[in-house]
Amino acid sequence: MQTLKYKYRLYPTPDQVVRLNQIVGSNRYVWNHFLSEEQSQYAINQKFRFYNTNSKDLTTLKKTTDWLNDTPSTSLQQTLRYLETALKQSFKRANARKGFPKFKKKRNFEGSFTLAMVNAKNFRDGKFLMPKIGEIKVKLHRELPSDFSTCQVKRDGDRWFVVCTVSVKKTQLPKTGKEIGIDLNSKEHVTSDGVRYKVPKYLHENQVKIASLQRVLARAVKGSKNRKKAQFKLHKVHQRVQNQRLDYFHKLSKALVTEYDLIALEDLAVAQIQRSRGKVIADNGFGMLRSMILYKSELYGKSTVIIDRYFPSSQTCSGCGSVHKMPTNIRTYVCPDCGLVMDRDLNASINILRAGTARIGGNSGNAFGDSADYEEQMVVLGILAGVNEEGSYVL
């Protein structure tokens, strides 16, 4: 069994939308109130109150704040549990950055809360039965594979969703006997068998429209209705870009997992790269594609291996294994030792596949001998050439 999240679209009435927003606001209020209490307690004796104490005080708070009683009690309790988890991760976990979680702000187009003590029986006849609100129309585009005990209600712009965490039986897709290495790039993803998948630039394609809406937003008076309209239009554009990217990478990852039994990928430092090339990396979806391939490989009985991020795949000759410096502006790999001439990205993807098969003990397509010993093959591939003080391999 594998744990997945199933997301369904809700279609609340205008009155129900008002109630849902009130519940989001109540949970935000409870988070901020008890976070302030935790900070005050910590300032006195460097200790925390945590869930048990806060839960008792929540009962007292609800007596003096009547409108909290219109919110499902389990959602407020879950908010306190999340606060406890956030505090423990910040202060109790080893090597954690010490600091309190942030106070939640009121956001016009985002918000969520978690419901406990709900299950599949809350979905019936195309309706989702929600405590304190009643039946909300829901689009069940696929059946729930198992029961659940909690779910999350989320707002995204003018749309509402309910997200259920369920257990799904793993399915074994037919074996194809194919293995592949993928070199991820900003323009296209190149596979070791020569296939190139162009990366759609959804953010770039909408950049002119986004810039225009941002100018309108900048000119609008804060707090005005025109400003809220401009914010909403801008959010809708970003929402569409996100949905397009999700759709593309879901289809691509499923196609790759269906076609190949083994997929080898590089462990890219996405966060570090994004600091210098934010918009380009956001459009590429490196992390998104990798996570989708990983969970779908596990779900469908295939294998995915992640090789070392410092492995010099672009600088290693796929013909003889020699390593040479390769400036990024040179797109054709020419090996001075064996004379190999090959596209830079195709050469890298072949090396990635070989490094991946070596890591799992296989030798499919291994041109450097029949040994399945990973360390020995990595020496040949150049990965153990040496590491400098910055953590980069010395070539």
Per-residue pLDDT tens listing for the chain (395 residues): 888 999 999 999 999 999 999 999 999 999 999 999 999 999 999 889 999 999 999 999 999 999 999 999 999 999 999 999 999 888 876 666 678 899 998 877 889 999 998 999 999 999 999 999 999 999 999 998 888 888 999 999 899 999 999 999 999 999 999 999 999 888 889 999 889 998 889 998 999 999 999 999 999 998 899 999 999 999 999 999 999 999 999 999 999 999 999 999 988 776 666 666 656 666 778 888 899 999 999 999 999 999 888 888 888 888 888 888 888 888 888 888 888 888 889 999 999 998 888 877 644 333 333 334 444 444 444 333 333 333 332 32
Tokens 């405590």 belong to residue: 131
In a domain, 160, yes or no: yes
In a domain, 393, yes or no: no
Residues 103 and 199 in one domain: no
Q: Which of 84, 179, 261, 345 is catalytic?
A: 345
Say if residues 147 and 120 touch (Cβ distance below 8 Å): yes
Residues 264 and 300 in one domain: yes
Residues 321 and 302 in one domain: no
Q: Which of 266, 308, 376, 389 is catalytic?
A: 266
Say if residues 126 and 138 touch (Cβ distance below 8 Å): yes
The verdict on whether 188 is a catalytic residue reads no
CB burial class (10 A; 0-12, 13-18, 19+) of residue 192? Answer: buried
The verdict on whether 345 is a catalytic residue reads yes
Give all strands (DSSP E) within the chain, no chain letters.
Answer: 2-11, 110-116, 123-124, 127-130, 134-139, 150-156, 159-168, 179-183, 188-191, 196-198, 262-266, 303-307, 332-334, 341-343
Last residue of a domain, one of 168, 191, 212: 168
Q: What is the pLDDT of residue 94?
A: 64
Say if residues 332 and 344 touch (Cβ distance below 8 Å): yes
Tokens of 230: 């401009």
Residues 319 and 300 in one domain: no
Q: What is the pLDDT of residue 19?
A: 96
Q: What is the pLDDT of residue 390?
A: 36
Residues 318 and 364 in one domain: yes
- Which residues are CB-contacts of 363 (< 8 A; sequence separation ≥ 6)? 357, 369, 370, 371, 372
In a domain, 394, yes or no: no
In a domain, 30, yes or no: yes
- Euclidean distance between CA atoms 297 and 290, whole angstroms: 11
Number of domains present in the structure of the chain? 3
Q: Which of 84, 183, 261, 283 is catalytic?
A: 183
Please choose, from the candidates 41, 44, 115, the residue with its C-alpha nearest in 3D space to the C-alpha of residue 84.
41
Residues 280 and 346 in one domain: no
In a domain, 195, yes or no: yes
In a domain, 386, yes or no: no
Tell me whether strands 159-168 and 2-11 are parallel, antiparallel or unpaired.
antiparallel
Last residue of a domain, one of 306, 328, 348: 306
In a domain, 293, yes or no: yes
Q: For helices 374-381 and 344-359, give the axis angle rounded to 10 degrees.
A: 160
Q: What is the pLDDT of residue 362?
A: 47
Residues 286 and 340 in one domain: no
Give the number of other CB atoms < 10 A from CB of residue 63.
Answer: 9
In a domain, 244, yes or no: yes
Q: What is the pLDDT of residue 375?
A: 45
Q: How far is CA 82 from the centre of its chain?
A: 19
Instruction: Show the domain range for 363.
Output: 308-381
Tokens of 363: 């030798």
- Which residues are CB-contacts of 236 (< 8 A; sequence separation ≥ 6)? 157
Last residue of a domain, one of 306, 333, 352: 306
Q: What is the pLDDT of residue 275?
A: 65
Q: What is the pLDDT of residue 223?
A: 86
Residues 217 and 336 in one domain: no
Residues 229 and 321 in one domain: no
Q: What is the pLDDT of residue 6?
A: 92
- Euclidean distance between CA atoms 58 and 340, whole angstroms: 71
Residues 293 and 329 in one domain: no
Residues 347 and 275 in one domain: no
Residues 107 and 237 in one domain: no
